[in-house]
A = this chain, B = another copy of it.
């Protein structure tokens, strides 16, 4: 395991290439990812004050995340273009007793294909988080994305489920 020869995008000579998925079978591929955006409590309050009325900020971030999932193969050079059948992006404020507020973005992507949709799920939450940042940056430049990770992958050679933890 963790054998360098499993770095699938690099040949034994260190050459990069796009993995040939021709011999893989078409199965249902699902991936879920999450991003956590941390900001000052006052920033979160300002968001709530403005968006309680119409929810626009959340909708913009969701739309940006969904669109980004469809753009993944254009952003990540060695990714394959996949026929995505579903993208869902949810954003919610996390319970928090600390001095900072946190918003958690979760994506779910599904396709019938020869390779997985992990990168699509990760791209969706990343761009949704950046979009959220963009809308709030005028009042809080110190916001940070403190986590982007894959939380589940099903279909293909092996499944994966991240350990739940205290951070999210």
Q: Which residues of A contact B (CB under 8 A)?
A: 1-4, 6-10, 13-22, 28, 40, 42-43, 45-47, 49-57, 59-60, 62-64, 66-68, 70-71, 73-88, 110, 112, 114, 118-119, 122-123, 126-127, 129-131, 133-150, 153, 160, 162
Contact = CB atoms under 8 A, between A and B. Distances in A.
Contact of A28 (B16, B22, B141, B153): B22
Count of identical protomers in the assembly: 6
Contacts of A8: 138
A18 B88 contact: yes
A14 to B, nearest CB: 4
Contacts of A53: 13-14
Nearest to A2: B42
B20 A130 contact: no
A28 B137 CA distance: 19
B139 A130 contact: no
